[in-house]
Chains A and B, each alone.
Chain A
């Protein structure tokens, strides 16, 4: 079974703090993704990485950065958290050679106060 894990299920941070969200997958997938999920808006792509040290902006990258130093780990960084970044954050991975579906982690519900 593919397993995607995220460092925290729930996180509460203060405005202005630097926040790190970690994602680890155990299936040697090349592609990894960070989404945020908000009611009525669905999943929106923040950043994705098609391989180690490679990254591309998604549809809503403002206020976020990412790091992919190792194949299994993809980190999302909020440089200075703001209240409008309160959301559910989902990480996903995919093996683009053998399948197209994405495997999702359980999500991190981030609240910025």
Chain B
């Protein structure tokens, strides 16, 4: 089967660090994406991991463990504008399809 699980909602404080987890079970794996989606807007690309380990890009980092079917997105120095949904998505082998999780709504409070 195919399944991507991530928490529905999280709340964190401005200036803090938050980790959004994603676990997946898919038939074939060829990389994992994180997208950010503000309410009423299009998803925008944040990161892509295909090998195990941590990828850092400014305040955002993404980690992947293929053996555990696990990834996380780490947001540092949280800002109010980081309030958004964060979508975990897996690219499958042998085709063009990407499977998306339901998304995690992050609320950043002052």
**Inter-chain contacts of A40 with B (CB < 8 A):** 8, 102
C-alpha spacing A112/B31, complex, angstroms: 36
Interface contact B48-A100, CB-CB below 8 Å: yes
- Distance (Å) between the CB of A63 and the closest chain B CB? 19
Within 8 A of A (CB), among B51-103: 87, 89, 91, 96-98, 100-103
**Inter-chain contacts of B102 with A (CB < 8 A):** 40-42
Interface contact A31-B96, CB-CB below 8 Å: yes
A50 at the interface (CB under 8 A from B): yes
C-alpha spacing A53/B33, complex, angstroms: 28
C-alpha spacing A101/B36, complex, angstroms: 12
A45 at the interface (CB under 8 A from B): yes
A20 at the interface (CB under 8 A from B): no
C-alpha spacing A77/B51, complex, angstroms: 38
Q: Which of B4, B41, B97 contacts A45 (CB 8 A)?
A: B97
**Inter-chain contacts of B97 with A (CB < 8 A):** 45, 48, 58-59
C-alpha spacing A102/B91, complex, angstroms: 11
Interface contact A48-B96, CB-CB below 8 Å: yes
Interface contact A43-B100, CB-CB below 8 Å: yes
- Distance (Å) between the CB of A33 and the closest chain B CB? 8
Interface contact A104-B96, CB-CB below 8 Å: no
**Inter-chain contacts of B89 with A (CB < 8 A):** 43
C-alpha spacing A31/B74, complex, angstroms: 30
Interface contact B103-A105, CB-CB below 8 Å: no
Which B residues have a C-beta under 8 Å from some C-beta of A?
4, 8, 31, 33, 40-45, 48, 87, 89, 91, 96-98, 100-103
**9 closest pairs, A vs B, by CB?**
A104-B42, A101-B45, A42-B102, A43-B100, A42-B100, A104-B43, A106-B42, A42-B101, A40-B102
